[in-house]
Amino acid sequence: MKTLIAALATALVLPAAAQSPKLKVGFMLPYSGTYAALGDAIEKGFRLYMTEQGGRVGGREIEYVKVDDESDPAKATDNVNKLIKRDNVDVLVGTVHSGVAMAMAKVAKDNGTLLIIPNAGAVAVTGPMCAQNIFRSSFSNWQPGYAMGEVAAKRGAKKVVTITWKYAAGDESVGGFKEAFEKNGGQVVKELSLPFPNVEFQPLLTEIAAIKPDAVYTFFAGGGAVKFVKDYAAAGLKKTIPLYGAGFLTDGTLEAQGADADGLLTTLHYGDGLDNPKDKSFRAAYQKAYNAVPDVYAVQGYDAAQMLAIGLNASKGDVSKKAEIAKAIETAKIDSPRGAFTIGASHNPVQDMYLRQVIGKDNKVIAIATKALADPGRGCKM
Ligand code: PHB
């Protein structure tokens, strides 16, 4: 009798379960160019979490499709439309570059496709472009900049020069820095920039040497950050003018920067030596899966997957239940390797900003620069 019931159950239940369609996740990330390593780490972090869940969320098995967005805003709308219209993805996960992310957010908003941004800090996507179906697992460009503005002022800098790539991420990172720094009595005396992803820093470094500010604040990331830190040291500036950065300057880059990064101070929502059990287990699992040490991008990918799971477990795998998904994510405490965080009203993480110092191959956390920092979400009406 038992075997008969089991046979019937198999016949009735299994085919039904098998029919439940797979959940198609579309990765739109940079797999080439200056941000290639960042895209790779995000995908690895995301897959690690899903593997830990047995490859399913909301009762649905996951299937991945990928597009290399090349960090090129000009190709972004076509790329995201390919994922939505050609590949019929249920969820979009991307991207690194703010300009590309804004194009993704526009399409996601128009189509109602669930979008989780695992890096790009474009202020607009959790500002004027905010929407019920758009979430960010990372940061806003304003956040690390703002935290460093407070640190620089506290450390006694009065006149600072900023240097970055001229696009949303650089502008907004400098904007956050300037807001906090000037509120605390400092002055940004010159804002230098060059087009993304150029790395001809020499003329700008010559200008910095001539101005002789108390400190320099910078946003660079990926391959560009490696070269900037090396060029800053080679120009002899490291010895005389402190270089402060948003933490991307030294995250995932220390191997390539070597001694030229030693001692640098940066602010970010992740770092090395955090004393929390989640980070310890995450690092061990990442090391085992990929034989590599995770960086901030891997954490953001992992947490994007956690947020997707929280939303879809609440909606039982139904991506059309937007209000249920949003409510679940908005009310969750996300158990991140960075430390637990919540998602604010504009769908951006509310999180501690750490002050880190490069010691050997680590971005060692030495203090909390700003506790539970929320992006102001200016212009967001949900
Ligand atoms: C961005 O374009 O928003 C961006 C890119 C790389 C980073 C951080 C922000 O590391």
One domain, residues 194 and 301:
no
90: left (phi over 0), alpha (psi -120 to 50) or beta: alpha
One domain, residues 71 and 146:
no
3-class DSSP assignment, residue 233: helix
- Indicate the residue among 247, 268, 289 that finishes a domain: 268
Give the range of the structural domain holding residue 193, as residue numbers without chain letter. 142-268
Q: What is the distance in angstroms between the CA of the first residue and the CA of the last residue of the chain? A: 57
One domain, residues 252 and 311:
no
One domain, residues 155 and 256:
yes
Measured in angstroms, how far is the CA atom of residue 42 from the centroid of ligand 1? 12
Question: Domain for residue 7, yes or no?
Answer: no
Looking from the CA of residue 122, the nearest atom of ligand 1 is 3
3-class DSSP assignment, residue 341: strand
One domain, residues 132 and 146:
no
One domain, residues 209 and 253:
yes
Q: How deeply is 61 buried, as exposed, middle or buried, from its count of CB atoms within 10 A (0-12, 13-18, 19+)?
A: middle
**Contact (CB, 8 A) for 123 and 140:** yes
Measured in angstroms, how far is the CA atom of residue 259 from the centroid of ligand 1? 24
What total number of domains does the chain contain? 2
Looking from the CA of residue 225, the nearest atom of ligand 1 is 10
Q: Domain containing 98 — which CATH number?
A: 3.40.50.2300
One domain, residues 105 and 170:
no
One domain, residues 127 and 164:
no
One domain, residues 226 and 285:
no
Q: What is the pTM of this model?
A: 0.95
One domain, residues 127 and 174:
no
Lining residues, ligand 1, CB within 6 Å: 35, 96-98, 119-122, 141, 169, 221, 248
One domain, residues 147 and 261:
yes
Nearest to 238 by CA among 265, 256, 220: 265
One domain, residues 283 and 135:
yes
Measured in angstroms, how far is the CA atom of residue 97 from the centroid of ligand 1? 5
Question: Domain for residue 164, yes or no?
Answer: yes
- Indicate the residue among 268, 283, 303 that finishes a domain: 268
Residue 271 Cα distances to 195, 243, 248, angstroms? 28, 18, 11
Nearest to 94 by CA among 132, 74, 67: 67
pLDDT tens for each residue of the chain, 382 residues long: 444 444 444 445 444 445 579 999 999 999 999 999 999 999 999 999 999 999 999 999 999 999 999 999 999 999 999 999 999 999 999 999 999 999 999 999 999 999 999 999 999 999 999 999 999 999 999 999 999 999 999 999 999 999 999 999 999 999 999 999 999 999 999 999 999 999 999 999 999 999 999 999 999 999 999 999 999 999 999 999 999 999 999 999 999 999 999 999 999 999 999 989 999 999 999 999 999 999 999 999 999 999 999 999 999 999 999 999 999 999 999 999 999 999 999 999 999 999 999 999 999 999 999 999 999 999 999 8
